[in-house]
Amino acid sequence: MMLLIGCTAVSEEDLVDVTLIEVVTFNEDVKPIIDNNCIICHSNPPQNGAPMPLVSYDNVKEAVQNRNLIGRISSEDPAFSMPFGGPRLPQNLIDMVIQWNEDGLIEE
Ligand code: HEC
């Protein structure tokens, strides 16, 4: 709204661009991806040899910062990639997690 007050010449195109800006958050965007693809093993306590849970915001944030979570889901190497033993996630979901990290690991 500040923009509009100072500038009556904002074009319709500019306004449409503003509505496209969306911040990725854990609760809205990332948690459903983890719940659907990871917590079958990364539960609390973890199953099937997984080393840590990914059930909370803090768990997942810690894994992005210290356990190379993004490297693991991005990898094309089946011996390294996550989900363990499973197909690689669709690229749009991988990009969502990357964007979440770039946006600052916001919780909600
Ligand atoms: C079928 C069980 C299973 C599923 C599903 C699974 N993982 Fe894992 N995960 C493991 C096992 C087992 C390990 C330990 C062996 C390894 O590092 O390859 C592991 C390790 C990891 C590690 C490295 C931990 C460390 O400290 O080095 C990360 C990060 C990870 N998983 C993230 C994920 C994510 C994110 C998903 C969902 C997209 C996922 N995993 C799905 C079983 C699983």
Q: Is the CB of 48 under 6 A from ligand 1?
A: yes
Which atom of ligand 1 approaches the CA of 66 most closely? 26
Over residues 86-108, the pLDDT tens digits come to 899 999 999 999 999 999 999 99
- Separation of alpha carbons 17 and 94, rounded Å: 24
- Separation of alpha carbons 48 and 32, rounded Å: 21
Read off the pTM.
0.86
Nearest CA to ligand 1 atom 28: 69
Residue 28 tokens read as 């809205």
Who contacts 76 (Cβ-Cβ below 8 Å, separation ≥6)? 88
Over residues 57-80, the pLDDT tens digits come to 999 999 999 999 999 999 999 999
Residue type, 25: T
Q: In the prediction, which pLDDT does 22 show?
A: 84
Which atom of ligand 1 approaches the CA of 47 most closely? 2
